[in-house]
Amino acid sequence: MEENNTEYTALESSESPRSYKSAKVSLLPLVFLIFYEVSGGPFGVEDSVRAAGPLLALVGFLAFPFVWSVPEALLTAEMGTMFPENGGFVVWVSSALGPYWGFQLGWMKWLSGVIDNALYPVLFLDYLKSGIPALAGGFPRVAAVLALVVLLTYINYRGLNIVGWAAITLGVFSILPFVVMGLISIPRLEPKRWLVVDLQRVDWSLYLNTLFWNLNYWDSVSTLAGEVENPGQTLPRSLFYAVILVVLGYFFPLLIGTGGVPLNRELWTDGYFSDIAKILGGVWLRTWVQGASAMSNMGMFVAEMSSDSFQLLGMAERGMLPEFFAKRSRYGTPIIGILFSASGVIFLSTLSFQEIVAAENFLYCFGMLLEFVAFVKLRVKYPAASRPYKVPLGTTGAILMFTPPTLLIFVVLAVAPLKVMMISLLALIIGLVLQPCLCYLEKKEWFTFSSSPDLPDLHDANFDCSRP
């Protein structure tokens, strides 16, 4: 074990080993980046009421965080401070299970992230189409999607600090109308409406997918760890504050919406919060909620794209992708990663909301299983490794903590529609073939692969394709 501990000495510092000099992201911008990577507000939770009614929707957004969000956030805090570099979860799995499985996780998570990002133009236009009917379909909708993607991609290009402070501004603007809506709704609240439940009419697939989609992606911030100021302290604190912000940002708007207006489950679909705002406060409040939705979707888009593009950069710095993926702009942003992620969003934005949610959940589940295994294996093999933040549980406690999320993953996979399951399995097979193909291209010298010398050596997992 002494030899293993020596191999980890490069990880003892909580600072990123990367030598690239750029402005670091501080606590408050990081909290809102996580907020947008996971949530962005209550826009998109409406389907939980349509699927299961008010009581199960409210209970779900209170109980589900303890089953899934808290364990994933704790995992991210420990692993992100142990490996404070871009690439995040890819590096964790590579260190524990080897570069092949690290690449598979990277492929699944990047594809899942791009699929997730394709949701935001859809949600953005769904909220605006009630005020601008032309955006419901056809050329105006396509043109609006393209214009939005170009604008938000440019914001990502300009720098992570701009993205972080933009996230704060957008976050405050997105939350405020629900504070006002809550105050206005007080005289109209009827608590008995919160208790409505009909177990015979529950759409469990839609219910679980909506909860899962709205309360996952806590590990996305790990791909930005190399850009964080003092990650050993900042990353765990930001995750803690973000969990509270996200849960409150879901629960109270649901409380207002289900208690303040008569229940019609069929109306609870994308964009319904704007209709509730009109009922409670008038056209001015509906307009504000629609604007907040637009701002929220912009925030989620830029946060997710930052995570996806820096993940590709981190993989290139580890030699898992051609080195041109590690190229940065003069603002320190990963140019190729941003372009790849934006292209994927454009291709996938024609899918429906429910299809996108189910597909990205399916891929995300497989990736999380690898992360759970990697966490436990690193605890067992390298107990003395430097961990600036360590989950206050032993190995047995960690296994017990991950048992409910693991069971939940199998439930989510089991209830996935057959079409989504087949497409997702095809995507997984592509990943299994893609990594050997990249190794072949390296051997043929068609592309150049290189690992950054500033990064710590992860023992045997050095991502050298020439090695077995």
pLDDT higher than 60, residue 52? yes
Q: What is the reported pLDDT for 248?
A: 94
* pLDDT for the residue 200: 86
Nearest to 454 by CA among 273, 312, 304, 314: 314
Question: Which of 221, 220, 318, 231 has the alpha carbon at shortest distance from 13?
Answer: 231
Helix (H, G, I), strand (E, B) or coil at 334: strand
Could you tell me if 66 and 201 are in contact, meaning their C-beta atoms sit under 8 angstroms apart? no
What is the DSSP secondary-structure string of 266-323?
GG-STTHHHHHHHHHH-HHHHHHHHHHHHHHHHHHHHHHHHHHHHHHHHHHHBTSS-G
* pLDDT tier for residue 463 given thresholds of 50, 70 and 90: very low
Residue position matching structure tokens 């087949």: 422
d(CA 255, CA 260): 8
Report pLDDT for 128: 66
pLDDT at 256 exceeding the cut of 90: yes
What is the mean pLDDT of the segment spanning 131-138?
68
pLDDT score at 378: 92
**Does residue 461 carry a pLDDT above 60?**
no
Q: Give the residues across from 334 on adjacent strands.
A: 328
* CA 11 – CA 231 distance, rounded (Å): 12
Q: Is the dihedral of CA 314, 109, 51, 269 positive or negative?
A: positive
Stretch 83-106: mean pLDDT: 90
Burial of 423 (0-12, 13-18, 19+ CB in 10 A): middle
* Res. 246: pLDDT tops 90: yes
Number of other residues whose CB lies within 10 A of the CB of residue 177: 24
Whether 4 shows a pLDDT value over 80: the answer reads no
Q: pLDDT, tens digit, for every residue of 145-175?
A: 788 788 888 888 877 778 888 888 888 888 9
pLDDT, greater one: 157 or 183: 183
138-157 and 119-128 helices, crossing angle to 10°:
130
Q: Report d(CA 154, CA 324) in Å as an integer.
A: 19
> Quick check: 137 pLDDT over 90?
no
Indicate whether 345 pLDDT > 80: no
- The whole-number average pLDDT for the span 52-56 is 93
What residues form DSSP beta bridges with 328?
Answer: 334
- 365 pLDDT exceeds 90? no
Q: What is the DSSP letter of 124?
A: H
% of the chain with per-residue pLDDT over 70 = 85
DSSP state of 200: G
Assess whether pLDDT exceeds 80 at residue 45: yes
pLDDT confidence of residue 465: 39
Highest mean pLDDT among 241-245, 289-293, 367-371: 241-245
Amino acid of residue 259: G
Please name which of 112, 143, 111, 113 lies closest in space to residue 125, comparing C-alpha atoms: 143
Q: Which of 100, 336, 311 is nearest to 222 (CA)?
A: 311
Provide the residue type at 65 as one letter: P
Closest to 71 measured CA to CA, from 375, 307, 359, 364: 375
DSSP secondary structure code for residue 452 in this structure: -
- Mean pLDDT, range 266-282, rounded to an integer: 89
pLDDT in tens, 377-425: 999 988 888 889 999 988 899 999 999 999 988 887 787 777 777 777 8
pLDDT tens, residue by residue, 199-209: 888 888 888 88
Enumerate helices (H) and strands (E) in the chain, giving the number of each.
Answer: 17, 0
End-to-end CA distance of the chain: 23
Q: Reduce the DSSP state of residue 331 to 3 states and report it.
A: coil
For the full predicted model, state whether its pTM sits above 0.85.
no
pLDDT tier at 15, thresholds 50, 70, 90: very low
Alpha carbons within 13 angstroms on the beta-carbon side of residue 131 total 20
DSSP letter string, 58-101: HHHHHHHIIIIIHHHHHHHHHHHHHS-STTTHHHHHHHHH-HHH
Mean pLDDT within 278-294: 89
Please name every residue paired with 451 in a beta bridge, in sequence order, or none if there are none.
318
Residue 415: predicted pLDDT: 73
Please report the pLDDT score of residue 350 as a whole number. Answer: 60
Distance of CA 364 to the CA centre of its chain: 9
Confidence band (pLDDT; 50, 70, 90) for 269?
A: confident
Among 15, 61, 44, smallest CA distance to 360 is for 44
With both helix axes pointing from N to C terminus, report the angle between 272-281 and 283-317 in degrees, rounded to the nearest 10. 150
- Mean model confidence pLDDT for the chain: 82
pLDDT score at 181:
93
pLDDT given for residue 383 in this prediction: 86
Give the model's confidence band at 76: pLDDT under 50 very low, under 70 low, under 90 confident, else very high.
very high
